[in-house]
Structures are given as structure tokens and as C-alpha cells.
Amino acid sequence: MSVRSFGSGPGHDGTTSTETALTGDDESPEGIKVRLREEKRIRLKVDFRLCTIAGILCSLNLLDSGIISSAAVTSMLHDLGLDHGNRYSVSILIFTVASVCFQLPATLAVRMMGPRSFFAFVTFCFGLITMCTAFIHTWRQMIIMRVLLGISMSGIYPGLALLISSWYRREELQLRFAFLQVGEVIVLATGGIVNYGLNHLSGHGGLKGWQWMYLVQGLIACIIGIVTYWWIVDFPERSDQSFFFLSQEEARVATSRIQRDRGDVVPAPFSWAEILRHFLDPKIYGFAASFFLLNLVSTSLSYFLPIILQNGMGFSSNKAILLSAPPYYYAAIPVILSSRIGDKYRLRGPVITFNSLCLIAGFGMLGFADQVTVRYVGTYLATGAYVSNWAALNSYQASNITGQWKRAVTAAAVTACNGLGGVAGSFIVRQQEAPRYLTAVWVSIGSHIFIIGIVAAFSVIFYIANSRQKQGRKIIEETEGFRYTY
């Protein structure tokens, strides 16, 4: 086990010759000003090339949930026999189970294959499978399609989290994860409106409305997969392999700024021992539990919001599809605002706690208010809060670990537990509990009370560890000079 260090200049214990070269910048006052201007320009370039396509790719999981939830208030459940027992919930569950099983190898594949090849391939496969779903006839065929979709999606979330955390300093992460969420929720919300329009094509070309939803949006995903190969960028140390991106000097500046922040630009040689030892860190399980609890809510809302609007609030099928979109457009506001505050002041725990309290208030309105308007406003609060916390929790875990393989392991672990939360979340919205859905309400409230408790415990642990590090009594994350962000 080696100890990393970060900073500039030669002679740091544990810093390889490559790492020293990466941090060899002019540290004079004028040199620092020039460097900061250049870093800002390069960061904006990375934002344009990475955050744009990453937000679209990140939306594919919610695109799937948007299609199937919109289709669920059309004739699809009856046509495929999904309206018997809990078959619809099982079709959601099986997608998540397949995704969870493949997340660790898929995340490692992002590192080994490179982001361009990996994301282009899995996105095209996702689109192709989605298109094929338009032509199935039985619920058993739907289950098979859901398994294949889950496998194709397994590496996208953790792979993007790994790639973004590799390109940005810790005080920049939450806003970049927020950019992902904004792209994701805008695509999801727009997908709801598109589904509303596609549902009106029912009968055209011999296809029903739900079949048009799968066919058209699957084709769009295939096109996105082709564009991804040329648009997305590689990891910082391999940025010269990206298509028309950074010059060699710009790549050196980009890697240098990451090296100064946490000293882990250059990954250690791959070995399974290196991968597996990171599972001994208890922080990973705390982060993973938080994502499990968060996705209880996101799954119940994203998959069942149109059903809640139709059965719980009395809206028609088309209105339920249409009214499920605005809460996601609204979510772009709190996720950007809370992320800017979190990055500016390097706050993670307080932001997560505030978002959790907003979600508790939103579900209280959804579950206990009598007026439909108040209940609908509650969906805005709940949606904005869980979307904001996705960005906050991702930056929370990425800010408090170092090492490229540990980032891969943590990203896979938290996404796997995020998926397991989806398994549980797919069963907490019970049709027989309409219009109140009290099980979903109480589970969602309780889950976020637990998230607040986990954050409070971590804050105490991180404070004590930072205090010991300041006194020279502890090295955090095997990296000299590293301190936790909480």
C-alpha cells in the first residue's frame, strides 16, 4: 500500500516521476494568475464536451422509466398481460436486478475500453433494444427486453460518475453533477410531452400509442449512441485520444490541476487485489446506503407519477402523461442553486440535509393534503429535492475518496445500491392504496430521515479525522495533505 501526495514540485514522498511532471507549474504570483485563466478556459471546454453529452446519456435510464410509466396509462398493460397481479412491478424490478448484477464489471470496462467506445456501444444497444420492445406481444417478452435493457444500462450511471469525478476538482463536482441532472430531467420531462404526442398516433401504421413511444425514442437513442463516439471525451491522462479536444499543452494543464487537488490522476496498475481491498472501507457502505434510500423515492416517482396523477388525483390518461413533465422542469432550479452553494462554500452535508427536509415536506403534502392542487405542488417539492440530492450525494462521495480504482469501485457500489433501492421502490406504490399511497409516503419520509442520520454520523467522523490530520497524526485516504469535505 503506497501513500500518494499532491502539490507541485519534485521530492514528495510517494509521487511518481509522471506525477511530478504533471504538477510542474510556475508558482510565482503572475504565473498563478496566468494558470488560473488557462484552467478556467480549459474547464469550460471540458464542460461543453463532457457535461452536455453526459447529461443526455444520464437521461437514458429515466427515458426508459418515462416511456414505461407513460405507456402504463395507455393500453400497454392490457395488451401485454401486465395488468395481472404484480407483473408490471416485476418488469420494473427485473430491469434493476439485471443492471445491479453487471454494474461493477461495466464500470471497470469504462476504464479499460475507454469512454468513447464503451458509451457509444451501450447507448446504441439501449436504443436498439428499446425499438425492439415496440414489437413484442406478451409480458414474458417484455421481461426479456427489460433484462437486456438493464444490462445495457448498467455501466452508464457509474461510468459517467467516474469520468466526471476524474476531470474536476472537488469544489467543482456538485455543479457538474447538477448539469447531469438538469440534462436528465429536461430529457425526461420533454419525453413526457413527446409521449403525450406519440400516444395520439395510436392506430397509425398499425401501431398503438405505446408502441410509437418505444419505436421513436429508441431510434433517437441509437442516433445519440453514434454521436457519442465522436463527442464524449476520454480520461484526463488519455485526453489526446479524444476527437478534436485538447492540445498536448492543454491536456498537461488539465491533469496538473487535478493532481494538485488530490494526487490521483495516474491510476495504479489494475489487479483484483487492488479492486477488492477498497471494499474494506466502511465509507463505501454509508454512501451506498444513502443512494439506496434516495432511489426508493426516485423510482416510485419516476415510474409511477403518471399513475399517481391518474388514479390518485383523478386526471385522464393524456393529462396524467402531460402533467408528469412540469415537476421535472422545476427540478432544474433547485439542483443548480443548491449545487452552486455546495461548491462555493464546500458544503455537502448541510445541502443534503436541507434537500431531505424539502422532500419530507413534499411527501407530506402529497400524502396528507386534501386539495388536489396542494398534492400536485407536493410532487414539485419531492421531485426537486430528490434530483438535487442525487447531485449532492454524488459529489459527497466523490469528494471524500481518492484513487482511480477506488473511484470505480465506489461508483459501482453506490449505483448498485441505488438500483437495489429501485427494486424496493418499485413495490412501495401500491395500486390498492390509491389515492393516498400511504406506504410510499411513509417509506419516502422515513428513508430521508435515515439519510439525514447517515450524513450527521459522517460529519462527526470526518471532523475528527480532519482534526487529527491537521495535527499530523493521520493520513487520510492514503494521500498526504488530503482532508474530507463535509
Q: The C-alpha cell of 219 is what?
A: 431510434
pLDDT (tens place) for every residue of the chain, 486 residues total: 566 655 533 333 333 334 444 444 566 788 788 888 999 999 999 999 999 999 899 888 677 877 888 888 889 999 999 988 888 878 888 888 898 889 889 999 999 999 999 999 999 999 999 999 999 999 999 999 999 999 999 999 899 999 999 999 999 999 999 998 888 888 777 877 888 899 899 999 999 999 999 999 999 999 999 999 999 999 998 888 899 999 989 999 999 998 888 888 878 888 888 899 999 999 999 999 999 999 888 777 765 677 778 777 778 777 877 888 889 899 999 999 999 999 999 999 999 999 999 999 999 998 888 888 888 899 899 999 999 999 999 999 999 999 989 999 999 999 889 888 877 877 787 767 777 788 888 999 999 999 999 999 999 999 999 999 999 999 999 888 899 999
CA 486, CA 475: separation in Å to the nearest integer?
Answer: 17
Looking at residue 10, its pLDDT comes to 32
Q: List Cβ<8 Å contacts ≥24 apart for 103-106.
A: 103/154, 103/155, 103/158, 103/412, 103/415, 103/416, 103/419, 104/409, 104/412, 104/413, 104/416, 106/154, 106/155, 106/158, 106/159, 106/412
Calculate the alpha carbon distances from 425 to 82, 227, 419, 437, 443 in Å. 18, 33, 9, 13, 9
Q: What is the pTM of this model?
A: 0.83
Looking at residue 26, its pLDDT comes to 63
Backbone dihedral angles phi then psi of residue 414, each to the nearest 5 degrees: -70, -35
**Do residues 355 and 346 make contact, with C-beta atoms less than 8 angstroms apart?**
no
Backbone dihedral angles phi then psi of residue 430, each to the nearest 5 degrees: -100, 125
